[in-house]
Amino acid sequence: MLRDAAVALAAAGIDNIRFEARLLLAHAAGLSAEQLIARGAEPAPAAVAQRLRELTARRVLREPMAYILGEREFWGLPFKVSPAVLVPRPDSETLIEAALALMPDRRRPWRILDLGLGSGCLLLTLLREYSAASGVGLELSEEALAVAQANAEALGVDARARLIPGDWRQLDWQHRLGGPFDLLVSNPPYIEAGAIERLMPEVARFEPRLALDGGPDGLAAYRNIATAAPALMAPGGRILVEGGEGQAFEISRIFASEGLAMEAPWKDLAGIDRVVSAVHSKH
């Protein structure tokens, strides 16, 4: 069964075929990877074989593995995912690293704002790390909000998280959020609209366009966030936003134009300037 799944995945141009085939079979059988190894010599029930064929067919069409499994790990935590939310990526863990380094007091009651909540991976991870913090998450998609709420409950931080619908493209969107906030985080849409169809099939075909489309130059969301940020932030409050490769300079310029003090960007594991950092220094 593993071999047949791997052959099908290879024919579809997918990498890591043995690893992915094993994930699919474990999911089809309702077993962990360890249990799969321990029970590998047992005859497989027909229902498991059929389920594996169905799951493999979805992956062959390049549906992201995270959507097939319904879950993705981020910062060592399990996050439920669906096609309503972006799949959490290791690159985004750079933002968590930056926040923890720049705001090292884990017991302080920080107030955190996450714009473009998605699965909740940024806000909810930070609430796990900062045990006294509270947070507000803004998300346009009701389906994504439901995923984030389920994750907040599963991770035990729902009492400290207020997740609300909202659209930063609308006038006065920021006035419902409360504040002031000590930390604003965001992984907004940053793909140029015309470039989305050239992305990997898993992204272009399956991930929510709302979470990808950053407008003609990929920077529309940053302008909206930068304009609102000074009124949302406490004096000395920090802003951390993720960006795409080659965008850090322009994102920094956008935030600096609103009077924010810029810091050095944070690099991801590939050495790309991934997270732009700014401080609201006005009193």
Q: What tens digit of pLDDT does each residue of 248-264 get? A: 999 999 999 999 999 99
pLDDT computed for residue 283 by the predictor: 52
Strands (DSSP E) contained in the chain are 71-74, 77-80, 111-115, 134-139, 161-165, 181-186, 233-242, 261-262, 266-267, 273-279
Residue 33 pLDDT grade (very low, low, confident, very high; cuts 50, 70, 90): confident
pLDDT of residue 14: 94
Sorted by sequence, the CB contacts under 8 Å of residue 201 that are 6+ apart come out as 62
Q: Which residue has the tokens 């249990």?
A: 35
How do residues 5-14 score in pLDDT, each as one tens digit?
Answer: 999 999 999 9
- Model confidence at 281, in pLDDT bands (50, 70, 90)? confident
Q: Please determine, for residue 241, whether its predicted confidence score (pLDDT) is greater than 70.
A: yes
Determine if the peptide bond prior to 180 is cis (ω within 30°). Answer: yes
Contacts of 16 (CB under 8 A, 6+ apart): none
**What are the residue ranges spanned by the domains of the chain?**
2-61, 82-279
Mean pLDDT (whole number) for 144-162: 98
pLDDT band at 172 (very low <50, low <70, confident <90, very high): confident
Give the architecture (CATH level 2) of 82-279: 3-Layer(aba) Sandwich (3.40)
Q: Tens digits of per-residue pLDDT, 93-109?
A: 999 999 999 999 999 99
Share of the chain above pLDDT 70, in %: 99
Question: In this predicted structure, what is the pLDDT of residue 108?
Answer: 97
pLDDT band at residue 40 using 50, 70 and 90 as cut-offs? confident
Q: Quick: pLDDT tens for 231-240.
A: 999 999 999 9
Q: What is the pLDDT of residues 49-83, one digit of tens each?
A: 999 999 999 999 999 999 999 999 999 999 999 99
Q: Provide the pLDDT for residue 282.
A: 61
Per-chain mean pLDDT for the chain:
95
3-state SS record for 218-271: CCHHHHHHHHHHHHHEEEEEEEEEECCCCCHHHHHHHHHCCCCEECCCEECCCC
Q: Is the pLDDT of residue 185 over 60?
A: yes
Say if residue 245's pLDDT is above 60: yes
Across 66-70, 174-178, 221-225, least confident range = 174-178
**pLDDT > 90? residue 179:** no
**pTM for the model:** 0.93
Compute the distance between CA of residue 15 and CA of residue 20 in angstroms, rounded to an integer. Answer: 8
